[in-house]
Amino acid sequence: MTDSQKLRVTQRSKLRRIPKRGSQERELIYSILDEALIAHVGFVNNEQPFVIPMAYGRKGDRLYLHGSPVSRLLKTLEQGVDVCFNVTILDGLVIARSLFHHSMNYRSVVLFGQAKLIKDEDEKMSALKALSDQMIPRRWQESRIPNTKELNATKVLSFEISEGSAKVRTGAPLDDAEDYSLPYWAGELPLKLVSGMPIPDSKLDNAIAIPSNIANYQQSI
């Protein structure tokens, strides 16, 4: 595997706890980023740590965040401070015979770097499309796109996917050998996020049908 197919590793991003579950492969990292909906963005402002949940979008090797120009998070990040970016998808509970070995099956990504303010209008619109498609695939084509006033009222930051890793746990519980004969149930309880039945806006024209990408919603793009 070439370096271009893997993320960079430094002392801050090196996997230390159960490194065999980790990976720097871009293909795996991108697949997790594309399926998740919420990221937790960590940064320090005036010596105070903050972790903020955010919607995001990915296009190529870039992640995009957006919000109000007065957002503390965005105003801090555009100054070039170090950022820690995390997403996690919970796939199930791992139920062991001993409480000590209970666990979770998951897929997660942790990234490090700095964010940059997007000033170019075309790049900004492309980033907002990525954010829209992350939430609902193809919704950009089925909605009114931002006008100039809305574009000016929105700050967008770009974050390069260059350093970090994925970590994944799958499979059954790993009990101690002497515990396998205990009379306690053990196994996996799969979990997943599912969409419900779409609820039309009360002001919606009854002649407008539910788009297929909403009626048959799937997170992954």
How much is the average pLDDT of 188-207? 94
For 187-192, which contacts have Cβ atoms below 8 Å and span 24 or more sequence positions? 187/95, 188/92, 188/93, 188/94, 188/95, 188/105, 189/92, 189/93, 189/95, 190/91, 190/92, 190/105, 191/90, 191/91, 191/92, 191/93, 192/91
Q: What is the pLDDT of residues 133-175, one digit of tens each?
A: 999 999 999 999 999 999 999 999 999 999 999 999 999 999 9
Confidence class for position 115, pLDDT limits 50, 70, 90: very high
Residue 3 predicted with pLDDT over 80: no
| Per-residue model confidence (pLDDT) at position 221 | 39
- Encoded tokens for 40: 């937790």
| Per-residue model confidence (pLDDT) at position 22 | 86
Burial class (CB in 10 A: 0-12, 13-18, 19+), 53: exposed
CATH number (3.40.50.970, 2.60.40.2470, 3.40.50.10490, 2.30.110.10) of 3-176+201-215 reads: 2.30.110.10
Instruction: Supply angle C-alpha 85, 130, 140, rounded to 5.
Output: 145
Q: Collapsing DSSP states into helix, strand and coil, what is residue 21?
A: helix
**Percent of the chain with pLDDT strictly greater than 70:** 97
| Per-residue model confidence (pLDDT) at position 220 | 45
Q: What is the pLDDT of residues 25-84, one digit of tens each?
A: 999 999 999 999 999 999 999 999 999 999 999 999 999 999 999 999 999 999 999 999
- The domain ranges of the chain are 3-176+201-215
In the block, tokens 């010596």 appear at: 47
Instruction: Quote the CA–CA distance of 34 and 107 in Å, as a whole number.
Output: 12
How much is the average pLDDT of 106-113? 97
| Per-residue model confidence (pLDDT) at position 15 | 84
pTM of the predicted model, to two decimals? Answer: 0.91
